[in-house]
Amino acid sequence: MNIILLGPPGAGKGTQAHRLVAEQGMIQLSTGDLLRAARSSGSEMGARVAAVMDRGDLVTDEIVIGLIAEQLDKGAAGGFIFDGFPRTLAQADALGELLASKGEVLDAVVEMRVDDDALVERITGRFTCGDCGEGYHDTFKKPAKEGVCDNCGATGSFKRRADDNEESLRTRLLNYYRDTSPLIGYYYAKGLLRRIDGLGEIDEVAARIKTVLNL
C-alpha cells in the first residue's frame, strides 16, 4: 500500500510515519529528512538548500522530485509512506507519473487536521534523536529516561531543527496554506482523500489512521 500523510508543519506526519514503519513494515519517504541528510553529508545540493529550509521556504520541485525518484527505484515490498511530499500540484502530478511508471498506484491520502495554535506548541517543543530520527516533545513525548533515546538507546544525541522557531514556522504555515493545501481538493477529486482529526494523544491519532486505511 502506498499512502501520503498530508498536513501542516507539526501535524504529526513524521511521528505517525514512524509508527506505521514499525507496525506495518512500510518505508517512510520524508523529503524533509532526505534534504536534512543531504545537508549533513556536506553535498553541494545540501549546501544549496540550507538557507531556503532554515527560512521555511520550499525547495524547488526539481530537487525534491529527483530525491523521491531515486528512492522509488529502490522499491518497497510493504509500500511507501510519503511524508512531506508532495507539497505542490507539480509534485503531485510527478508522483502519479513516477508510480504509474513502476506499475504502482497511490492507495490513500490521509489529511491530518490540527489547528494552528496546537501546531506552534508542537513545533516549539520538538526535538529528535540524531542517531535514529525518533521524534520527541518537551511536554507530549518525553523520553522515559532523560537524555536517552527510547528507540535506539543513544545518549546525548538529541537535537533541535534550525527551522523550528516562530519566524520560520510562520513562513512554513504560509507556504502550506498557499502551495500545499490545494492538494486536499486534488486528491478529494481522485477519491483518495481520508480526513482525520490530528488532535489528541499520539496513540489515538494512530488508531484513527489505521481505521481510515482499513489496517
The residues that are catalytic are 13, 87, 126, 161, 172
Cα separation, 77 vs 57, whole angstroms: 33
Q: Where are the alpha helices (DSSP H) in the chain?
A: 13-24, 31-40, 44-55, 61-72, 89-101, 116-124, 166-175, 182-189, 202-212
Instruction: Give the end-to-end CA distance of the chain in Å, rounded to a whole number.
Output: 10
Q: Which stretch binds Mg ion (CB under 5 A): 14-22, 73-81, 111-119, 154-162?
A: 14-22
Q: Taking CB under 5 A as the rule, does residue 14 contact Mg ion? A: yes
Rule CB under 6 A: choose which of 39, 172, 194, 208 binds ligand AP5.
Answer: 172
Rule CB under 5 A: choose which of 37, 132, 148, 192 binds Zn ion.
Answer: 132
Shortest reach from residue 14's CB to Mg ion, in Å: 3
Would you say 185 or 200 has its CB closer to ligand AP5? 200
Would you say 134 or 164 has its CB closer to Zn ion? 134
Chain positions 125 to 164 lying near ligand AP5, rule: CB under 6 A, are: 125-126, 135-137, 140-141, 163
Q: CA-CA distances (angstroms) from residue 21 to 11, 76, 77, 118?
A: 18, 11, 12, 25
Cα separation, 185 vs 189, whole angstroms: 6
Q: Shortest CA distance to 172 belongs to which of 32, 45, 38?
A: 32
What is residue 30's three-state secondary structure?
Answer: strand
Q: Which stretch binds Zn ion (CB under 5 A): 88-96, 99-107, 150-158, 202-210?
A: 150-158
In sequence order, which residues have a C-beta less than 8 Å from that of residue 8 and are 6 or more positions away? Answer: 114, 116, 119, 172, 173, 176, 177, 180
Q: Shortest CA distance to 81 belongs to which of 172, 7, 18?
A: 18
Q: Taking CB under 6 A as the rule, does residue 59 contact ligand AP5? A: yes
Would you say 103 or 203 has its CB closer to ligand AP5? 203
Cβ pair 129, 16 in contact under 8 A:
no
Q: Which stretch binds Zn ion (CB under 5 A): 33-41, 61-69, 109-117, 145-153?
A: 145-153
Q: Taking CB under 6 A as the rule, does residue 35 contact ligand AP5? A: yes
Site residues, ligand AP5 (CB under 6 A): 7, 9-15, 31-32, 35, 52-53, 56-59, 64, 84-85, 87, 91, 122-123, 125-126, 135-137, 140-141, 163, 172, 200, 202, 205
